[in-house]
Amino acid sequence: MESSLAIPALTKDLARVLIDADTISRRTDELAREINKAYANIKGPLILVGVLKGSFIFTADLCRKLTIPHIVDFIALSSYSGSNSTGNVRLLMDTRENLEGKHVLIIEDILDSGTTLDYLIRNFKSRKTLSVKTIVLLDKPERHTFPVELDYIGFTIPDVWVVGYGLDYNEKHRTLPYIAEMYPQTE
């Protein structure tokens, strides 16, 4: 049956498609294979903690490609307003799982300054977890201000604002199936 789902046309605020849906899917396959291998021998399920809202699509796609036992959980943080970092992280919603004694994999949409992941890694390590690792779909190395150790990276991108596949600009463009670069916005 032919799909009737139309891919939204690029709008005036989007400059170009940076990573298309097929490329994201193939990279997610590779990452899932690496994770399946790395956690093949752990005791108990791996706790996946998706950082809302930006990583919800990546989390959903990645977890369906995992063959190891896992539990999906989420955490909600906020550090941004528009495209300017406010520099401080607010915990809006904690995980439901008790992370003590568990292997945890944090799933983030993008590493920008590193503020969010730096906060989360410290926070999770203080909960007596067995291990805390990180996977980010996108990494913007030029923007790092905190030295965050990443275990898995989907794609390295230049310092541009990107939207789609979970990422937004003031809630806009979050559900595009691809990752697109935005023209610089004057808020």
As measured in angstroms, the least distance from the Cβ of 67 to ligand IMP is 27
| Residues 6 or more apart in contact with residue 141 via CB below 8 angstroms | 156
Q: Which of residues 81-110 bind Mg ion (CB under 5 A)?
A: 109
- Return the one option of ligand IMP, Mg ion, none that residue 111 interacts with (CB less than 5 to 8 A, by type): ligand IMP
Stretch that binds Mg ion, among 9-17, 22-30, 48-56, 68-76 (CB under 5 A): 48-56
Q: Is residue 54 close enough to count as binding Mg ion by CB under 5 A?
A: yes
Among residues 113 and 131, whose Cβ is nearest to ligand IMP?
Answer: 113
Among residues 55 and 103, whose Cβ is nearest to ligand IMP?
Answer: 55
112 included as an active-site residue: yes
Active-site residue, selected from the candidate residues 73, 112, 118, 139: 112
- Return the one option of ligand IMP, Mg ion, none that residue 112 interacts with (CB less than 5 to 8 A, by type): ligand IMP
Q: Which residues here bind ligand IMP, judged by CB under 6 A?
A: 54, 79-80, 85, 108-116, 161-163, 167
Name the residues annotated as catalytic: 112
- List interacting residues with Mg ion (CB under 5 A): 54, 109
